[in-house]
Amino acid sequence: MGILTSGGDCPGVNAVIRGAVLGGDVAHGYEFLGFKDGWRGVLEQDVVPLPRTGVRGISRLGGTILGTSRTNPLVGKGIEGVRASVRRNGLEGLIAIGGEGTLAAARELCGQGINVVGVPKTIDNDLGATDYTFGFDSAVQTATEAIDRLRTTGESHHRCMVAEVMGRNAGWIALHSGMASGAHAILIPEHPVSLEQICAWVVSARDRGRAPLVVVAEAFAPEGYAAPYAPRGLDTFGRPRLGGIGLLLEGELQIRTGIETRATVLGHIQRGGEPTAFDRVLATRLGLAAVESAAAGRWGTMVSLRGTDIVNVGLEQALGELKVVPEARYQEASVLFG
């Protein structure tokens, strides 16, 4: 069985690898090969053996022991390259741990007769076919700790503090870390609000003697702005690189309210570091389920969390739904604003 980790890294990836290797070895006698740096390793035959001893103690480690890249196997002669690699290494199939792009590639490869089981991975928690993605809980924990720190320095200086968190399509990290840290405003792409409204929340917090705290998702755009703020060019998939809206807000809020304001972009701090206990358990269960799915021939599916159960969902269906923050969840949180 081949394993690869592709796309942005995420706390818990190593726990998936360990779960799959230990589960597959014990229950099915599989041998595992790990491809380095995602699909790049598959295409370039950059492969390492993954014995039981190679995965001992890794579930608490951040990042991915296999490395990752955003190489897209559907570009050029990628599909034939993957097929050749699977044959040459004598693989029954692949376990692909990745986000939207990786799962879309897995679906295409399955359609071309290459066996793949997917494991969803993103800190953004925006995949509709699973209740939670592993890595999300860790990212929220890290963001909350950081925002708590911003609060104490903000209170000392009587400043407004703006914390920008990740979330390419959805505001889940902002919603959860903002609620957990008691933010006076949470700004997410699903719910544009005007700069006037944000200022009103900030001023109201200041007038009650508080240091205003604003948590903003990287993809947020204020009402009336056509697109998210993305001044940093494109990534390898041609998508705009987000990040910086917090800094834009810093200037706007300071000018409009007269309150001294400082913004912090948390960026990749949220993706790095050790997974929480919740993510280690979820990721381990997904790894165990992925190898069981492969052994049962449920190729073309991904493993996903439904309630407390791990189930298989067809990749076709899985990729259809983006999970954004429902309006009711935002309204619930907004009672606490200002």
Residues catalogued as catalytic = 124
Q: Which residues within the stretch 127-146 sit at the binding site for ligand F6P (CB under 6 A)?
A: none
- Pick the binder of ligand F6P from 123, 147, 193, 245 (CB under 6 A): 123
For residue 96, which of 132, 135, 69 has the smallest C-alpha distance? Answer: 69
Near ligand F6P by CB under 6 A: residue from 168, 176, 280, 285: 168
Q: DSSP letter for 129, please.
A: T
CB of 4 to ligand F6P, least distance (A): 17
What is the distance between the alpha carbons of residues 16 and 6, in angstroms, rounded to a whole number? 13
Integer Cα distance of 71 and 85 in angstroms: 15
Sign (positive/negative) of CA torsion 32, 36, 42, 48? negative
Among 3, 4, 8, 20, binds ligand F6P (CB under 6 A): 8
Q: Is 280 annotated as a binding residue?
A: no
What tokens appear for 265 in the block? 């972009």
Other Cβ atoms less than 10 A from the Cβ of 49: the count is 9
- Return the structure tokens found at 205: 């917090």
Phi, psi angles (nearest 5°) of residue 324 = -100, 170
Does the annotation place 99 within a ligand binding site?
yes
- Residue 18 annotated as binding? no
Q: Do residues 240 and 234 touch, judged by C-beta distance below 8 A?
A: yes
Residues 6+ apart with CB under 8 A from 61: 14, 274
* Residue 123 assigned ligand-binding role: yes
Contact set for ligand F6P, span 46-105 (CB under 6 A): 99
HSE-CB of 292 using CA atoms within 13 angstroms: 13
What is the number of alpha carbons within 13 Å of residue 176 lying toward its C-beta?
A: 20
Instruction: Kindly tell me which residue out of 124, 164, 274, 279 binds ligand F6P, with binding defined by CB under 6 A.
Output: 124
Work out how close the CB of 97 gets to ligand F6P at its nearest, in angstroms, rounded to a whole number.
14
User: Smallest distance, Å, CB 318 to ligand F6P?
Assistant: 16
Range 208-227, binding ligand F6P (CB under 6 A) = 218
Q: Is 285 annotated as a binding residue?
A: no
Q: Kindly state the number of chain residues that form the binding site for ligand F6P, as judged by CB under 6 A.
A: 13
- Within 229-288, the residues that bind ligand F6P by CB under 6 A are 235, 241-242, 271
The residue (of 159 and 168) whose beta carbon lies closer to ligand F6P is 168
167 annotated to bind ligand? yes
- Can you tell me which of 1, 143, 166, 202 binds ligand F6P, judged by CB under 6 A? 166
Residue pair 43/78 in contact by the 8 Å Cβ criterion: yes
Region of 83-91, 161-169, 277-285, 286-294 interacting with ligand F6P (CB under 6 A)? 161-169
Does the annotation flag 270 for ligand binding? yes
Shortest approach of ligand F6P to residue 149 CB, angstroms?
21
For 169, 189, 221, 223, the CA distances from 226, given in Å and listed in that order, are 15, 11, 7, 8
173 is in an annotated binding site: no
Is the distance from CB of 30 to CB of 20 less than 8 angstroms?
A: no
Using CB under 6 A as the binding rule, whether residue 167 contacts ligand F6P is answered as yes
Rounded least distance, CB 53 to ligand F6P, Å = 31
How many Å apart are CA 183 and CA 198, to the nearest integer?
12
Say how far apart CA 200 and CA 212 lie, in whole Å: 11
Annotated binding-site positions for substrate? 122-124, 159, 166-168, 218, 262, 268-271
Q: What residues make contact with ligand F6P under the rule CB under 6 A?
A: 8, 99, 122-124, 166-168, 218, 235, 241-242, 271
Annotated binding-site positions for ATP? 8, 70-71, 99-102
Annotated binding-site positions? 8, 70-71, 99-102, 122-124, 159, 166-168, 218, 262, 268-271
